[in-house]
Structure 1
Amino acid sequence: MTFLTADAMTGGYGAADILHACTLAVDRGEIAVIVGPNGAGKSTAMKAVFGMLPLRAGHVSLDGTNITTLSPQERVRAGMGFVPQVRNVFVSMSVEENLEMGAFIRDDDFHDTMEQVFSLFPILRQKRRQPAGELSGGQRQQVAVGRALMTKPSLLMLDEPTAGVSPIVMDELFDKILEVAATGIAILMVEQNARQALAIADRGYVLVQGRNRFTDTGEALLADPEVRRTFLGG
């Protein structure tokens, strides 16, 4: 049984549907990447999985449990961690305070998890007392991912984690995402840098106008002539 299944999701804002029978899935320890042109519904699909968008049809299940009616807060408690593309850190708070905010749902000792975050992102240990608003774009993304990991998620959702960062920082972030997946966490990610993202993906989804256009392994999508010509620049 696939760990996360978002099956035939249909929904949107107001009367207009943006998603049309969109289906996504990812298993523990896998990386699933959603790519497609601007306006394809990629971020909307992520919001639907996280419960920020009501569905008119379809369902979402996590580890065999139907969570379609759960709120985002309830989904966090069920094991989902979500990192939005923008406004994903508390800029006036220190790095350490941001990470502590990620542990708000926990009533156990979370310091071991914080140490794991610092091991994954050593620069955050160095800057733990510094306001997050003073960090570079790449470092802020590390704080945002680290804060999501503080909830001890079984599914980590990333909405364009490399937006606005340099190619070097992008490569570093992708390496860290691979490290997180290697711990057994399922990762669902929207990414504009499609070629690089598909290179690390176990599963790839190409969305067009809210519909699944291509679904395959990342390797197979990179090798598909039509996908390369239409979505990857040849």
Structure 2
Amino acid sequence: MTFLHASEMRGGYGSGADILHGCTLTVQKGEIAVIVGPNGAGKSTAMKAVFGMLNLREGHVHLGGEDITQLSPQERVYKGMGFVPQTHNIFPTMTVRENLEMGAFIRNDDIEETIEQVYELFPAVKDKRNQNAGELSGGQRQQVAVGRALMTQPKLLMLDEPTAGVSPIVMDELFDRIIEVARTGISILMVEQNARQALEIADKGYVLVQGANAYTDTGAALLANPEVRRTFLGG
């Protein structure tokens, strides 16, 4: 079953010009879907549209078969969406443990098991759990941000540029952890500038150009597509 179906999205910010022009994104259960494309293509805007952070002038967003187009971002979290923005995605003056606890704000049950699962997924987060999150390296902050989103027990995890500004080694580690998350049945929708590396782990890839779908295929097929390679992946 298609778990996320965001169809024919058209819209922009406020009363400004449209940034999305009929963009469609779908993600299956437990699938990793990656959005790539040139700067200014509308990648992050498409992600924010799925999360309800801008008003769509056309199109619909369905999650698990339910039309959530009119719901606020907060309401979408309760429906099972988790969103990790590219920046300002942690509370720097709070400890790592407190960041995780803040992620569980919608829950009324015992969160300790989920915290242990995050610690198992990200050992560095466990090691630094009593430190202020603002003292961590860029890669460790990203792990805390992803861990905090996982505390809501999302069905769909959305990541906006999760490897921005981190070293290649840290990028590979983050991608490995993202694969592990998807194997638990959580769907992943990810915007990524490191297009070649992201498509290597993607079940499905979307190449956006000027807010519209230019290419949609499996990650492997997009990597093998000569036109995609020449135009978007540097040959």
Same fold (TM over 0.5): yes
Q: List aligned pairs for 1:133-212, cutoff 5 A.
A: 133-212=134-213
Q: Match for 2:43: what amino acid?
A: K
Partner of 1:12: 12
Q: Number of paired residues?
A: 234
* CA distance in structure 2 between the partners assigned to 1:188 and 1:16 by the alignment: 25
Identity of aligned residues (%): 78
* CA distance in structure 2 between the partners assigned to 1:191 and 1:204 by the alignment: 11
Q: Match for 2:183: what amino acid?
A: A
Partner of 1:2: 2
Q: List aligned pairs for 1:1-234, cutoff 5 A.
A: 1-13=1-13, 14-234=15-235
Q: Match for 2:214: what amino acid?
A: R
* CA distance in structure 1 between the partners assigned to 2:217 and 2:88 by the alignment: 32
* CA distance in structure 2 between the partners assigned to 1:48 and 1:112 by the alignment: 32
Offset at residue 99 of structure 1 (A): 0.2
Q: Match for 1:90: what amino acid?
A: F
* CA distance in structure 2 between the partners assigned to 1:202 and 1:68 by the alignment: 25
Bigger shift: residues 204-213 or 11-20: 11-20
Residues 104-151 of structure 1, C-alpha deviations (whole Å, 9 max, x = no match): 000011110000000000111111000000000000000000000000
Secondary structure of 1:4's aligned partner = strand
* CA distance in structure 2 between the partners assigned to 1:122 and 1:224 by the alignment: 37
* CA distance in structure 1 between the partners assigned to 2:74 and 2:50 by the alignment: 13
* CA distance in structure 2 between the partners assigned to 1:141 and 1:105 by the alignment: 21
Secondary structure of 1:163's aligned partner = coil
* CA distance in structure 2 between the partners assigned to 1:145 and 1:125 by the alignment: 13
* CA distance in structure 2 between the partners assigned to 1:148 and 1:100 by the alignment: 10
* CA distance in structure 2 between the partners assigned to 1:120 and 1:205 by the alignment: 27
Offset at residue 18 of structure 1 (A): 0.2
Q: Match for 1:99: what amino acid?
A: L
* CA distance in structure 2 between the partners assigned to 1:172 and 1:123 by the alignment: 11
Q: Match for 2:107: what amino acid?
A: R
Runs of 4+ deviating beyond 4 Å: none
Offset at residue 42 of structure 1 (A): 0.2
Offset at residue 177 of structure 1 (A): 0.2
Q: Match for 1:76: what amino acid?
A: V
Offset at residue 15 of structure 1 (A): 3.2
Q: Match for 2:177: what amino acid?
A: K
Coordinate RMSD, CA, aligned = 0.4
* CA distance in structure 2 between the partners assigned to 1:48 and 1:88 by the alignment: 18
* CA distance in structure 1 between the partners assigned to 2:216 and 2:209 by the alignment: 12
Structure 1 residue runs without a partner (length 5+): none
Residues 197-224 of structure 1, C-alpha deviations (whole Å, 9 max, x = no match): 0000000000000000000000000000
Q: Match for 1:177: what amino acid?
A: I
Offset at residue 228 of structure 1 (A): 0.0
Offset at residue 28 of structure 1 (A): 0.9
